[in-house]
Each structure stands twice: as structure tokens, then as C-alpha cells.
Amino acid sequence: MGDLYLWLKAGHVISVIAWMAAIFYLPRLYVYHAEKAENVPEMIPVLEVMERRLLKAIMTPAMIATWGFGLVLIGFGGIDWGSVWAWAKALSVVAMTVFHMWCAGERKRLLTGSLRQGRYYRMMNEVPTLLLIVIVVAIIVRPF
């Protein structure tokens, strides 16, 4: 069982890294989309392809893999659900998933031509960073 657990944990970490890389980059693409739509309209089809591929081919499969590996690892035990850190991590992962869904919704919104300010997407791009900090500190430091 020990080797299997380590392989599952490795798969979880790899999928988390892929998910986070994509979730950091997609709102940045939205900034470019919002800011270049008027001045450089020929960029928009390219950005739309990049956004779609990032969301559908990388971000969503990585999120599903992260959840899958994570739930299997939970099945192995070792998490003290009486501790605040476990709940802080779990709630932060749920919040990250909600942010992922927000990203998907914003992509649909951008496709309709309904644009927000680039500053809005810049600010939203900080959300996954804050959640990642909570998740890592909860897992590694377990301050609560």
C-alpha cells in the first residue's frame, strides 16, 4: 500500500501544479482580451482559442485529476477532520473550484462581447493566489 499511496500523492501534486498554472494564466488572458478588444481586434480570435484550449484541455482535466487523487488519498485516512487545518484546506479547495467555474463563466461572457475592465480581471487573478497560500499553509504549517 505504501508505494501506491506515494504514486497517488505524486499524481495529486502534479495535477495541482497543472491546475494552478492554468488558473493563474487564464484570468491574465482575460486581461489581454478585455484590453485589446478595441485597439487590436485581430488578437481576439487568437485569445479565444488560447482561452478555450487552456480551460478545456488543461485546466478542467487538471482540476478533475486533483479532486480524484485528493479524494482517493482521503480514503487512505491520515486526515484529522477534527482539526481546523483540514477544514481550511477543504474549504479553500472548494473555493478554488468555484473560482474555476467563475473562469468558465467569464469565458462565455467574453465570447458574447460583454467585456469587463482589465483591472477587474487583474484583481480577480489574485483570488487563486490567496487560496493557494491558505491551502499550502494549512497542509504544511498546520497553524490551527
- pTM for the whole structure: 0.92
Instruction: Count Cβ atoms below 10 Å from residue 132 Cβ, excluding itself.
Output: 16
Q: Per-residue confidence of the chain (144 residues) as pLDDT tens digits?
A: 679 999 999 999 999 999 999 999 999 999 999 998 888 889 999 999 999 999 999 999 999 999 999 999 999 987 889 999 999 999 999 999 999 999 999 999 999 988 899 999 999 999 999 999 999 999 999 988
* Neighbour-count burial for 70-83, b at 16+ CB within 10 Å, e otherwise: beebeeeeeeeeee
Three-point CA angle 60, 63, 69, nearest 5°: 140
- Quick one: which H or E segment has residue 136? helix 127-140
79, three cell numbers: 486526515
Q: Is 60 exposed, middle or buried (0-12, 13-18, 19+ CB in 10 A)?
A: middle
Q: State how far the Cα of 47 lies from the Cα of 106, in Å rounded to an integer.
A: 13
